[in-house]
Amino acid sequence: MRGGTGEQQREQAQAVHEQSGRVPPQAVDVEKSVLGAMLIEREAIPQAIEILPSDAFYESKHQSIYGCIQDLFERGNPVDLVTLTEELRRRDKLEEIGGAYYLTELTTQVASAANVEYHARIIAEKSLLRRMIETMTTVVQKAYDPGADAFELLDEAESKIFQISDNQLRKAAAPMNEVVKDTLERLETIHGQDGGITGVPSGFPKLDDLTSGWQDSDLIIIAARPSMGKCLGKGTPVMMYDGRTKPVEKVEVGDRLMGDDGSPRTVQSLARGREQMYWVRQKRGMDYRVNESHILSLKKSRREGARDRGSIADISVRDYLDQSDKWKDDNKGFKVAAEFPDQPVPLDPYFLGLWLGDGKSDNARIYTTDEEVITGLQEIAEKRGDTISVSDEHRRCPAYLVKSGDRGGAMATRESVQGALRALGVLGDKHIPHLYLGNSRGKRLRLLAGLIDSDGHLNDGHGGTYEITQSSEQLARDIKFLCDTLGYRTSLTQKTARISSTGYESEVHRVRFNGNVDEIPVRVERKKASPWTDVRDWRMTGIDVEPDGVGDYFGFTLDGNGRFLLGDGTVTHNTAFALASAQNAATHPERSTGVAIFSLEMGAQQLAQRMLTSEARVDAHRARTGRMKDDDWQRLARAAGALSDADIYIDDTPGLSVLELRAKCRRLKAEHELGLVVVDYLQLMQASGANLRSGANREQEIAHISRSLKGLAKELDIPVIALSQLNRAVENRGGDKRPQLSDLRESGSIEQDADVVSFIYRAERYGITVDEQGNSTEGIAEIIVGKQRNGPIGSVELAFVDQYARFEPLTTQYDNPGGGPPQGDGSAPMPPDGNAGGGGGNSFEDDAPF
């Protein structure tokens, strides 16, 4: 590398000089003085070498001379005019540097080597300035490249500037007396600390005994199986944001699902596996199949109780089954209307509805005797500039045809009604095109009005129930989906239709729907519905949950509030090892430090809520369902004060890339006393770099991410904790299901890059109720340190208090053969230090996934 980087610096600086007329930072005369001093006094050589790399010299010939001096000195050879001249001649560099005469001239430039260290630092400073010019020039040049990645370029610039500012000049070797003094002071400091913690404390004494705390520049992987919750059975239709439906097993990362508020929910990761499955039977809605940790979204139907009527409870199937019959009766499944953007359509939606109901399949004729419908057709024709022709076709019901007629000019280029039907693909194949199903509410209502006026029937009672009967199963399913997206209570049944006079029978499909159907702009007077008068909410329905054996599940994680719609508009939910040690590090009474939490799975408020309820020892389920007691609020207020003072920074940017993460961490490090970074979780991060985007598989992406996180830990000299998933092999393995290093999901490079790999294991999750010694496993979590580059491996048991979603040190008050930690209310024994927060908060999932 001798001469290489310095030559680049010189060329870059020279290029800038030529373009701007500025002289690049340099000190050629000082360079001559330093080289001369090294030639006249051997003692000057180590002083200069300690400060200057070979590429610090501006003149390329000075780099060559300095490199030869270094080599002669390292080999123990004399360094003088004779030996240096011969060495340069041997390398064919003598003439290049100006010959022996130039070397002699160098020795006459300086009388003494007394100031060599001072002069060397001047050269190093000028080299530093040139490096800055080189870096900025490179960035500017790359920025002009049409294919430049702005974020990747920003990361490169930040990294180089950070390195320049962090390293600056070489540090001089410290004398032994100073090293010994500093070492004794550090040993004294460590001796005064509880538990011998030399890094960032995790908050769990036994774990800190094993690791001495999280060490600076270490990458720590905390791995466990995902909850595998919020998963559906194969074939369950899920509503996409564009109005289409997709079987759950076909959902992919990046897909956008319809949220309960009409906004999109982006799929961030997938979950697959086998588990105990259940049928959710809705009394008035579709049945769907879920696993036991799926989150049901239920709405309160009565006024009595602590929660308001209409409030929503998100509860796992497992927890739902434990509720009382009264609670189940009072909390019902519900659906909401879907909202889609308005889009232009080639035909009036009301006309299309009329034609689908009572139109001739192979042309644009519509059969009707209703004056209101005929008037509606005339208005549509006039708006289009068309005319209507009528023919009876030897039928009791006349046929009406909207005709374009013979027109010239711009009107002649407009598509006819029949041409529009053909373009929509419905001639000979009656169905509702997606353009209409996924359109604005107003257009969908007009479409449904046309279907009712042509082929619908109104049953009286509570505002009325509409029926539409079709021989085409596909059209019937489209009509049901249309009604579902509008938020109505809808059913689809098959029945046998008979004509008594002829004895003819056929199978038909009947769609029934009710609710606030009086909003549908029907024109036929006898078919107009009155407002809904039933005290019951048509959007809510009772449910029954039935076990269905072990089966395959398919799930995903989402951004936002996690609620999304099934194919009929039913609202359901999707929702981690909560970074207890991160919270402890920020709130430690003696060794607190700044903590940055990058939560790619949960929003900032969700994460804060979990920390609050955990810190306050408030039942997480009561908090979510709005049933907290007065003393819960008091504990929450105290916990809020403690957490508000903590030096914690939460970033909930979904799909965060490595480049963005590193940039944000550098900024936090520069602006705050950042001592720990937590990433939840690694598999949700996005890889960066053009070479990865152009065809790398997921394993290579994860390898890139893990290397980048290790590089970040070294660069900032702080521990980085990354949560990671384990693969499904641990679920299917017989016997001992304790995780192993080989279970790390998607990349062996995670194990290679990490300094510490630890696993979370909960035996009771696998149905193991007692351990080998006969002790209960209830409420016990085992933290297994499977790799520690600079320390021992082993395992530590912690208490997991399920109702608070909280980890605590496993003290003697929990060490009883009959069971795990207390499972009562806030009166449960406190951790040994008497502080409710001393054991550390946690954000394990509500359904205790591990």
CB of 580 closer than 8 Å to CB of 800 = no
- For the ranges 322-326, 702-706, 715-719, 746-750, the lowest mean pLDDT is seen at 746-750
Q: Where in the chain is the domain with CATH 3.40.50.300?
A: 198-225+576-757
Looking at per-residue confidence, does 670 or 665 come out higher? 665
The H or E element containing residue 247 is strand 245-247
- Looking at residue 232, the DSSP 8-state letter turns out to be E
Q: Where in the chain is the domain with CATH 1.10.860.10?
A: 4-167
Looking at per-residue confidence, does 763 or 674 come out higher? 674
Euclidean distance between CA atoms 748 and 700, whole angstroms: 10
Report the CATH number of the 198-225+576-757 domain: 3.40.50.300
Q: Order of strands across the sheet with 366-367?
A: 366-367, 399-403, 387-391
Residue 821 has pLDDT above 60, yes or no: no
Tell me how crowded residue 6 is: count the other CB atoms within 10 A of its CB. Answer: 24
CB of 560 closer than 8 Å to CB of 265 = yes
Burial 243-279 (b: 16+ CB within 10 A, else e): bebbebbebeeebbbbbbeeebbbbbbbbebebebbe
Lookup result for tokens 């510490």: 756
Euclidean distance between CA atoms 77 and 74, whole angstroms: 8
Q: How confident is the model at residue 836 (pLDDT cuts 50, 70, 90)?
A: very low
CB of 255 closer than 8 Å to CB of 240 = yes
Euclidean distance between CA atoms 295 and 621, whole angstroms: 12
- Cα of first residue to Cα of last residue in the chain, in angstroms, is 52
Q: Where in the chain is the domain with CATH 3.10.28.10?
A: 349-527
Q: How confident is the model at residue 832 (pLDDT cuts 50, 70, 90)?
A: very low
| Whole-number Cα distances in Å, 828 to 799, 801, 813, 839 | 13, 10, 10, 13
**Residue 504, preceding peptide bond in cis (omega within 30° of 0):** no
Residues with Cβ within 8 Å of 763's Cβ and at least 6 positions away in sequence, in order, are 737, 769, 771, 777, 780, 782
Tens of pLDDT, residue by residue over 358-411, are 999 889 999 999 999 999 999 999 998 898 988 876 567 888 998 875 544 444
Looking at per-residue confidence, does 429 or 807 come out higher? 429
| Closest to 385 (Cα-Cα) out of 409, 362, 357, 355 | 409
Euclidean distance between CA atoms 28 and 21, whole angstroms: 19
CB of 798 closer than 8 Å to CB of 834 = no
Residue 687 has pLDDT above 80, yes or no: no
Q: How confident is the model at residue 165 (pLDDT cuts 50, 70, 90)?
A: low
| Closest to 489 (Cα-Cα) out of 510, 453, 517, 461 | 517
Average pLDDT, the chain: 77
DSSP characters over 716-763: HTS-EEEEEEB-THHHH--S-----GGGBSS-THHHHH-SEEEEEE-G
Euclidean distance between CA atoms 387 and 425, whole angstroms: 24
- Looking at residue 776, the DSSP 8-state letter turns out to be B
- For the ranges 165-174, 334-343, 502-511, the lowest mean pLDDT is seen at 165-174
SS3 190: helix
Euclidean distance between CA atoms 620 and 611, whole angstroms: 10
Looking at per-residue confidence, does 96 or 149 come out higher? 96
Euclidean distance between CA atoms 485 and 487, whole angstroms: 5
Tokens, residue 283: 């009394």
CB of 485 closer than 8 Å to CB of 437 = yes
Lookup result for tokens 């590429």: 55
CB of 845 closer than 8 Å to CB of 576 = yes
Q: How confident is the model at residue 564 (pLDDT cuts 50, 70, 90)?
A: confident
Euclidean distance between CA atoms 597 and 583, whole angstroms: 10
| Closest to 702 (Cα-Cα) out of 681, 676, 730 | 681
Q: Output the pLDDT for position 2.
A: 35
What are 516-519's contacts with CB under 8 Å, separation 24+?
516/463, 516/487, 516/488, 517/463, 517/464, 517/465, 517/466, 517/488, 518/463, 518/464, 519/445
Q: Output the pLDDT for position 19.
A: 53
Looking at per-residue confidence, does 560 or 140 come out higher? 140
Tens of pLDDT, residue by residue over 728-749, are 566 556 667 788 887 775 556 7
* Among 241-245, 614-618, 649-653, 729-733, the range of highest mean pLDDT: 241-245
CATH of range 4-167; options 1.10.860.10, 3.40.190.10, 3.40.605.10, 3.30.70.1520? 1.10.860.10
Could you tell me the CATH superfamily of domain 349-527?
A: Homing endonucleases (3.10.28.10)
Tell me how crowded residue 35 is: count the other CB atoms within 10 A of its CB. Answer: 25
Q: Output the pLDDT for position 570.
A: 76
Q: How confident is the model at residue 169 (pLDDT cuts 50, 70, 90)?
A: very low
| Closest to 718 (Cα-Cα) out of 672, 687, 757, 759 | 672
* Among 24-28, 178-182, 363-367, 747-751, the range of highest mean pLDDT: 363-367
Tens of pLDDT, residue by residue over 104-162, are 888 887 777 788 888 888 988 888 888 888 888 888 888 888 877 776 777 777 767 76
Report the CATH number of the 231-336+539-573 domain: 2.170.16.10
Q: How confident is the model at residue 848 (pLDDT cuts 50, 70, 90)?
A: very low
Looking at per-residue confidence, does 234 or 429 come out higher? 429
Tell me how crowded residue 636 is: count the other CB atoms within 10 A of its CB. Answer: 19
